[in-house]
Amino acid sequence: MNMNQKYLRVGVIIAALLLAGLYNVITHPWMLDDAYISFRYAENLASGNGPVFNPGEKVEGYTTFLWIVLLALGKRLGAELTLLSKLLGIAFAAGTLLLLANARHFIRYLDERTPLRAVLFLATCAAFSPWAMTGMEVTLFTFEVTFLILYYFLLKESSAGRWRWAALGLAAALTAMTRPEGILVFGLIFLDIAAGWLRTRNGIRLYSLFSFSLIYIPYSLWRLTYYGYLFPNTFYVKVGFGWEQALRGFHYLSAFLIPAALLVFLFLNFSMALPGFHPYKKLYLIPALIGTYTLYIVSVGGDVWAAFRFFTPLLPLLCLSAALSLEMFVQKKMIGRTAVIILSVLAIAWNVFQFRANDVFYPKIKRDQAAGRGVLVGLWLRIHSRPDALLATNTAGSIPYVSRLKTIDMLGLNDLHIAHKKITRIGQGLAGHEKGDGAYVLSKMPDYIHLGPALGSALPWPGFIGDREIYENPEFHRLYRLEKVALKSGETLFIYKRLRQGTADE
């Protein structure tokens, strides 16, 4: 690599980091309310109560164990969790961009321009960059998936020893402990390893399975004995087996295909040309993973948040495939270098345009202020309620975390009873917002019932089963009084407070 190429490479990497940073400046202060659920589990873990939502109640209302452990370690060292989560998110987002920019160190036969083109695609993709400062584990998991695939490609093309294959299994175990989808990623890798073993009978690659099992099996047994269920509580809230759920997942995919249109088109070209294109045909695991993972996303019904977080872990590989597709065009002499530059600029411009124009990105992100409002509500409750008060709310992240009150999660993510309640069909409403049990909530006699979204509502919120059941119960109107509170933001909180004697003449 000559000096001009080195300057170009450094310039592209710096530009990518700056572009990703710009996305976060534009979307600030976009924090997800779900991030505060992780903070609450991490805080309880750090304080010795274990990974629980309410001390004394063992409910696995998260799917981000390793993220919670990292946050808990930071808490023990004196870090403030909101700031720490953002710093970690930025670090892993930057790490993913740097990984992709250095993909040639893992896949030696790549053209030197391909990773640079891919990293620009990724940095301008609004389904990747905004996640850095949301407090969520998204960038950590994306970094892990990207590293896992690239590292596997490196090992396949080298005479790696048993310890390096064992390191692959270790990385896979950590990925699966960050999110359960990591098992799917390693499962595809291991299928490829098993196919190679059947051809060669060389068992050295099986050390990856051994090291993975050495970590993940004890972790799974601990989960099962500690929480009592095979799957996280969130699975029972969000996942069903009806066609409505798959249809919702298909709509989620269809919405993603609009902003990702050019990248997906180039990926499909890459996938179709792959079998006859040496040496890139060795990268068949990329389309296999993207295809299988996409089927999984559709089957579980997609997600409710802006910016397509379920697709985010696939984006580095999607961008690499798109860049490889353009390189294939050149090598086939279908187009020249100038045309590739024009197509690359068009793809980047489309990414940027979609961020502002498409409702699933910037406009929806700017409207998603549940966490910020929940923090204000939580502060009011911390000041004006008893420390031993019981709260029932749908906004089960920021409000419980800031208020520090024992909480009934009325949507069930952190409540065993609601999560396991049978409903007719899952998939007709918003993912994770379809379950509820008003009678159960009232039987707990919470001191506060917070209907609706973060600022509360005087009336049951449309689509929330628990809200409607509570409001339609005569006991609720006999036992609770609506309070309207002016918050420091100038907004009004609507919250129901239980009357001490159960009568209106408190």
**506 residues of the chain, pLDDT tens digit each:** 677 778 888 999 999 999 999 988 888 888 999 999 999 999 999 999 999 999 999 999 999 999 999 999 999 999 999 999 999 999 999 999 999 999 999 999 998 899 999 999 999 998 999 999 999 999 999 999 999 999 999 999 888 889 999 999 999 999 999 999 999 999 999 999 999 888 888 889 999 999 999 999 999 999 999 999 999 999 999 988 788 899 999 999 999 999 899 999 999 999 998 888 888 889 999 999 999 999 999 999 999 888 899 999 999 999 999 999 998 887 777 777 788 888 889 889 888 888 776 666 777 777 778 999 999 999 999 999 999 999 999 999 999 999 999 999 999 999 999 999 988 778 888 888 999 999 999 999 999 999 999 999 999 998 899 999 999 999 999 999 999 999 989 999 999 999 986 444 34
Q: Is residue 313 part of a domain?
A: yes
In a domain, 503, yes or no: no
Other beta carbons less than 10 A from residue 497's beta carbon: 18
Q: Is residue 391 part of a domain?
A: yes
Per-residue pLDDT tens for 52-85?
999 999 999 999 999 999 999 999 999 999 999 9
HSE at residue 335, side-chain half, CA atoms within 13 A, is 13
Give the C-alpha distances (Å, rounded to integers) separating 368 from 29, 34, 265, 450, 453: 10, 12, 30, 18, 11
Q: What is the pLDDT of residues 83-141, one digit of tens each?
A: 999 999 999 999 999 999 999 999 999 988 999 999 999 999 989 999 999 999 999 99
Q: Tell me the DSSP string of 387-419.
A: TT-EEEES-TTHHHHHH--EEEETTSTT-HHHH
Residue whose structure tokens are 């049978």: 422
Q: Is 423 in the same domain as 287? A: no
Q: 506 in a domain, yes or no? A: no
**Host domain of residue 382:** 370-498
**Which residue, 340, 366, 392, sits at the end of a domain?**
366
Cα-based distances in Å from 190 to 113, 152, 317, 506: 30, 10, 18, 65
Token pair for 17:
């980091």
85 and 163 together in one domain: yes
Tell whether 383 and 415 lie within a shared domain: yes
Is the domain of 490 the same as that of 417?
yes
Of the candidates 376, 300, 297, 298, the one whose C-alpha atom is nearest the C-alpha of residue 31 is 376
Q: Which of 366, 382, 402 is the last residue of a domain?
A: 366
pLDDT at 357: 67
Same domain, 352 and 403: no
Please give, one letter per residue, the 3-state secondary structure of 299-345. Answer: HCCCCCCCCCCCCHHHHHHHHHHHHHHHHHHHHCCCCCHHHHHHHHH
Query: Residue 406 pairs with which residues in a beta bridge?
Result: 390
As for how many domains the chain has, the answer is 2
Contact 190, 171 (CB under 8 A): no
Q: Which residue has the tokens 């299988």?
A: 292
Positive or negative: CA dihedral 307, 309, 310, 315: positive
- CA nearest 266: which of 152, 209, 343? 343
Residue pair 370/33 in contact by the 8 Å Cβ criterion: yes
Same-domain status, 200 and 228: yes
Domain boundary among 351, 366, 381: 366
250 to 291, 293, 294, 311: CA distances (angstroms) = 13, 13, 10, 13
Give the pairing of strands 390-393 and 448-450. Answer: parallel
Residue 332: the pLDDT is 74
> Does 342 share its domain with 396?
no
List C-alpha distances in Å: 108 to 84, 161, 344, 399. 36, 19, 22, 50
Q: Are residues 32 and 170 in the same domain?
A: yes
Intra-chain end-to-end CA distance of the chain, in Å: 80
> For position 506, what pLDDT does the model report?
41
Q: Are 93 and 138 in contact (CB under 8 A)?
A: no
Domain membership of residue 505 (yes or no) is no
Query: Three-state SS for 216?
Result: helix
Instruction: Look at residues 364, 435, 351, 458 and name the one whose alpha carbon lies nearest to residue 32.
Output: 364
Given this model, what pLDDT does residue 501 score?
A: 60
* Same-domain pairing of 310 and 430: no
Residues 348, 482 within the same domain: no
Q: Are residues 215 and 344 in the same domain?
A: yes
Q: Is 357 a domain residue?
A: yes
User: What is the pLDDT at residue 502?
Assistant: 44
Q: 37 with 50, same domain?
A: yes
269: helix, coil or strand? helix
Residue 279 lies in a domain: yes
* 200, part of any domain: yes
